[in-house]
Amino acid sequence: MPEPTKKDETPNGQPEESVAPDSNGALPLPEISLEVSPPPEAVAEGQEPVETDGKQPEPAEPAEPEPVQAVVAQEPSPAENGSNQPQPVEVGVKEQAESSNTTEKGEGPCSPPPHDEDDAAATTPSPTPQPEEANTLKKLSIELPNDSVPLPEMGRKDSVWSLGDGQAPEDLDKPIDTPPRSTLLIESPQSASMAVGGDISFVAKVEAKDLLRKPTVKWFKGKWMDLASKTGKHLQLKETFDRQTKIHTFEMHIIKAKENYAGNYRCEVTYKDKFDSCSFDLEVKEAETGSQNIDIRSAFKRREPKQQDDAPDVDVWEILKNARPDQYEKIAFMYGITDLRGLLRRMKKIPKEEKKSEAFAKKLEPAYQVDKGGKIRLVVDLADPTVELKWYKNGQEIRPSPKYIFEHKGTQRIMVINNCSMNDDAAYSVAAGDEKCATELFVKELPVKIVKGIEPVKTTVNERIELECEVSEEGAQVKWMKNGVEVPTGVRSRYRVKSEGTKHFLVIDDASREDTGTYSLMASGGTSEAHVKVDLKPLKIYQDLQDMTVKLGQPLKLHCEIYPGNVPGRWYRNGQLIQPNDRITIIHRNKVHRLEIEASSLHDAGDYTFVPEGYSQSLSAKIHIIDPPRVHLDSLNFPDNMVTIVAGNKLRLEIPISGEPAPRVVWMKGERVILESGHRVRAETYGDQTSLTIDITEREDSGNYKIVLQNEAGEATASVKIKVVDIPDPPEAPLVPVVGGDWCSMTWEPPKYDGGSPILGYFIERKKKQSSRWMRLNFDLIKETSFEPKKMIEGVPYEVRIFAVNAIGVSKPSEPSKAFTPLAVTSEPTMLVVDDVTDTTVTVKWRPPETIGAAGLDGYIVEYCIEGANDWVVSNTELTEKTKYTITGLTPGSKILVRVRAINAAGASPPRTLQHSVLVKEVIEPPKIRVPRHLKQTYTRRVGEAVNLVVPFMGKPRPKVTWLKEGNPIEPTHVSIRNTDCDSIIFIRKAERSHSGKYEMTVQVENHVDTAIIDIQIVDLPGPPQCVTIEDVWGGNVALVWTPPKDNGNSPITGYTIQKADKKTMEWFTCIEHYHRTCITITELVVGNEYFFRMYSENMCGLSEAATQTKKSALIVKEGMQMKTHEFNDRDFKEAPKFTQPLINTFAIAGYNATLNCSVRANPRPKVIWMKNKIAILDDPRYRMFSNQGVCTLEIRKPSPYDGGMYTCKAINDLGEAQVDCKLEVKGGFTFYELMQRGVPLHLIDKYMNEHKIVEQEK
């Protein structure tokens, strides 16, 4: 429930001044309520005695009641006053008097008296004083500054709930006497108890059977807190109405209740002059066991040891009794009392001496009640008759008038209010000097009763109806109802309401059938109703409607006479309502009803009906319109009635026709009648138009079409010309007479048929011969019949085609031209130089052209001419593919010029000519050997690898080359030597250690000689060490000694690798690698294990294939313990290589990696060699070889058809060798041109092409 905030109101309903926040923007000050008992003089005047905690007040002589003084709380404000002196704070003083004469106000006995002194105080008087609250109580409201409230209580909106508590916790268990139910509430909310955090609902029901509108219901906490503005998540108010039982249900739901929600609640129901209320209590208990006398605010404080505020060390109560109320707070905090509410509650129970009033001997009663129209006397008795009095109504001074009469009788001062009305229901007060006393006047309005009820009425339409009803009071407010709905009485309403004294009238001047119903008059004291029935007058027909036949365009007039004459009616045509317009006129004069149409149309034909309003009878006639047939060709908007349509489209020609009755339509082309059942061409007629439909128009559909219309009124004919146009025929295939490097020239002939429209131009398209996608070459039409396509790719075959275009569209494409390939000659050869000259020959060399083109390069032509002549002689009759050529048959001593041309399919390129002439005469050049840098040092290769050394040299004429090894001629079976004009090649297919040595090369030209020496060293893996012995064993150490291997592999030994193995597992572990000495001590051996040791030798080729193992084992024992071991013979696991899984013939795809796999078993580990076509594969990056656990794999990276052939895997060890073969075929090879682009030499291309042909033949 949202935490409510207090709203103070004065007795006249105006809100009091509230304490504004201070200049520092502090929150509004909390409020503490004090209740002061009335003086004993009030008891002497006939009022009930005041509660004084069981002590009877002593009688005292009449005296003026002590006025209630405002209490001022002091707050230090050094910021404003510049000192620590307390500053006064504005305090509101509120006063309430409750009357004992509550039965005159009509309050029901449902409201129980409050059970707590806090509930007796309220800021505004209740509309209905409680009968049990006869005591006159005064409430003193003290508003404290913020610094007087403990910090846990400041800013808490929950604390406001405590200001509306209606019952003290100690009084909750007292029984409550529930009075009988009131006149409005048929079900009242009942008192209840609940736990903290729970939900509860209170229900109040009001019967609405005699109520004209919904009653007003308010929920209060205590006496003043209106809960309507506090709704939220903790409080919800709900209203429902049951139409069947006519009961209003009002509910108040409290959700997640807190402890401060406990207290007295009140439900008030108001309806006009009726009022009812009921009080109920809510007890909120803690969820766990605890005392009910818990201060609500203390529940939100920090949990500290509770201070005893009821028993301080000093007698605080004596101090408080003698202190002013504005000093209560200061005294309480001085002595550590934090429970201000408990303090104030106890202070209220202490009887106080009331001061006597100095001005009044007898004050006004707390409340007065009078009937509406009656008279009331307000009397006060003055202690001093000379004091001047002033009377006030809602704070406004009252002046003497016929309404208000003032009388003096001795010490009594009387104000008489005549003819009381509801405006006199207000708060009144009288002031005598500085003293005031106040009261409230309640004016009771008497119910208005029905004296004479409404009489039922039965009449006919257009008559006047007047309903009369008499009530008990003149000028009473009543409501006229029709069928339970209030009758509208505005300016434009058909109903008039008037009143004459106590009589009320409802007048209907011109009655209609809609006025039939139940009419009632509702007053506050009763209801009267009567039934009104309005019937129609009988209908008489003097002249009925007549059937008519009218020509199209002639006027049409319909006439009838009926009685009564003032009855309106409606005209219908074919059931549709006719509305008047510029052409149609509807006339009603007395009994005559006419319908006139100025110029009739075909739409005017039909069945006409006149229906008098309010009657079931009707008058009807049939109108027939006739019209000769006509064809409306003007609506087509075609010049000369010619319709042009594109062939292939659907033609639907709709022509409007007219005629009544509908004419018969015939379509004709020549002498042929077009039927409605035609398949492609058909004629249709419906409604007011006829149509000719051609689904797919053709050229043959062109011509004149005739339309014939006939009906009983005549005949009409018309003709329409239809012209079918089409796209032109495709032209014939174009011709390509001239072809260039990236262009061509093409011509064509116009199409034979232009489609009935002139040719506007042509579109040209081309495509590659292998492609299916045509590309348009022009976006603007070409008027001529020739074109030169450009930007074509050289060497790619193309085709072209033509489209003809007219106004209708584009023709179908022509047949493609014959395929043509744009080709261009190559550029001239480059770097033409003289390579050699003899007495009869000249050798020239050059490089290929920079630009070859798509036509490729077929070869070269070498030409020469004698210096001074222009006759060029072709030296080679056939094209040469090499870039070097020797011209023979020359005359010694002559000078010649040489040029070279490149030849391809497009022709010969421009020539490349030597800049100077060449003298045909041989020149001697001494020999010179140019030894490569890597051969100037020892050339090292492993056993089995190929040796291929090229040693270039110079010299002219061709030198003589000889080779010697260690001064002896070289055996040609062991080493192959091939000499050329410029270099010498020494080749060893499979190197052996015997090929090691120094080779001497000699180059001789006549008497000139040059020599060079090349040192070749063939190395191999070393052999194992000769003998490994265990020199000594002590502790966890073993000393080993060995001798170098007998065979060092033709390379120095670079180190040794020592391994150990436990005799139990015989798993070898490396102890040390790359060890250079021939003795070593192995340490950190495990005691109790027996070890064997083996050793590998190592040179630049790697570890030896075999290892030398110790014959004896070394047992690691504890000192002083030694165990004898038995000797045993080792099993010999050695075996020759044997392939357990052979190679399999495989097919590979060109460009995708291929692998060959096999498995071999051998001991010792064999050496694996892969061969292709019986030639070992060595240092070729296109091949990768793997060997793992006896599985041998050869991977061929992106093979080409050149990689196909016979592959062999060979395994060799000391005990033997074995090999397996397979055939690899690579599909998807390369063309000659692709191999040329890849830079493959010509001799390899020839070899590949020959192999490919052989494979194809074998297939």
pLDDT one-digit tens code per residue, 624-650: 888 888 888 887 788 888 888 888 888
Report d(CA 95, CA 72) in Å as an integer: 17
- Does 289 have pLDDT greater than 50? no
More confident call, 421 vs 305: 421
pLDDT value of position 144: 34
The answer to whether residues 1087 and 1052 touch, using CB atoms and an 8 Å cutoff, is no
**pLDDT tens-place string over residues 1107-1152:** 999 999 999 887 665 555 667 777 788 899 999 999 999 988 888 8
> Both tokens of residue 1068?
């070898």
pLDDT value of position 32: 33
More confident call, 1012 vs 564: 1012
pLDDT value of position 138: 34
Average pLDDT, the chain: 79
**pLDDT tens-place string over residues 1052-1102:** 999 999 999 999 999 999 999 999 999 999 998 988 899 999 999 999 889
What residues contact 948, with CB distance under 8 A and at least 6 apart? 985, 986, 987, 988
The answer to whether residues 879 and 859 touch, using CB atoms and an 8 Å cutoff, is yes
Report d(CA 986, CA 324) in Å as an integer: 136
**Mean pLDDT along residues 415-431:** 90
- Does 895 have pLDDT greater than 80? yes
- Does 285 have pLDDT greater than 90? no
**Mean pLDDT along residues 85-111:** 35
pLDDT value of position 1234: 67
pLDDT value of position 80: 36
Confidence class for position 8, pLDDT limits 50, 70, 90: very low
The answer to whether residues 403 and 417 touch, using CB atoms and an 8 Å cutoff, is yes
Q: What is the CA radius of gyration of the chain?
A: 67
**Mean pLDDT along residues 73-92:** 36
Which of 15-29, 549-563, 1001-1015 comes out lowest in average pLDDT? 15-29
Report d(CA 240, CA 236) in Å as an integer: 13
**Mean pLDDT along residues 65-77:** 35
Q: What is the DSSP string of 1091-1115?
A: EEEEEEEEETTEE-SS-EE-SS-EE
Structure pTM? Answer: 0.29
More confident call, 223 vs 373: 373
**pLDDT tens-place string over residues 290-302:** 434 444 444 444 4
Q: What is the DSSP string of 840-909?
A: S-EEEEEE--S---TT---EEEEEEEETT----EES-SS-B-SSEEEE-SPPTT-EEEEEEEEEETTEEP
Closest CA to 705 of 673, 747, 736: 673
pLDDT value of position 1092: 93
End-to-end Cα, the chain, rounded Å: 100
> Both tokens of residue 742?
């990236």
Burial 891-911 (b: 16+ CB within 10 A, else e): eeeeebbbbbbbbbebeebeb
- Does 27 have pLDDT greater than 60? no
- Does 90 have pLDDT greater than 70? no
What residues contact 630, with CB distance under 8 A and at least 6 apart? 657, 658, 659, 709, 716
> Both tokens of residue 52?
């004084």
More confident call, 523 vs 73: 523
pLDDT value of position 1228: 72
**Mean pLDDT along residues 114-119:** 38
pLDDT value of position 1041: 94
pLDDT value of position 1229: 65
Cα separations in angstroms, 272 against 75, 486, 665 = 48, 18, 84
- Does 864 have pLDDT greater than 90? yes
Residue 439 sits at φ, ψ, to 5 deg, of -155, 175
**Mean pLDDT along residues 1222-1234:** 77
Pairing label, strands 968-969, 759-768: unpaired
Q: What is the DSSP string of 564-624?
A: STT--EEEEETTEEP---SSEEEEEETTEEEEEESS--GGG-EEEEEEETT-S--EEEEEE
Which of 221-225, 263-267, 500-504, 856-860 comes out lowest in average pLDDT? 221-225
Residue 291 sits at φ, ψ, to 5 deg, of -70, 145
pLDDT over 90 percentage in the chain: 34
What residues contact 280, with CB distance under 8 A and at least 6 apart? 188, 189, 190, 191, 192, 202, 264, 265, 266, 267
**pLDDT tens-place string over residues 773-818:** 999 999 999 999 999 999 888 888 999 999 999 988 999 999 999 9
What residues contact 579, with CB distance under 8 A and at least 6 apart? none
- Does 1173 have pLDDT greater than 60? yes
To which residue do tokens 């045993």 refer?
1128
pLDDT value of position 1037: 92
**pLDDT tens-place string over residues 908-940:** 899 999 988 888 887 788 899 999 988 888 899
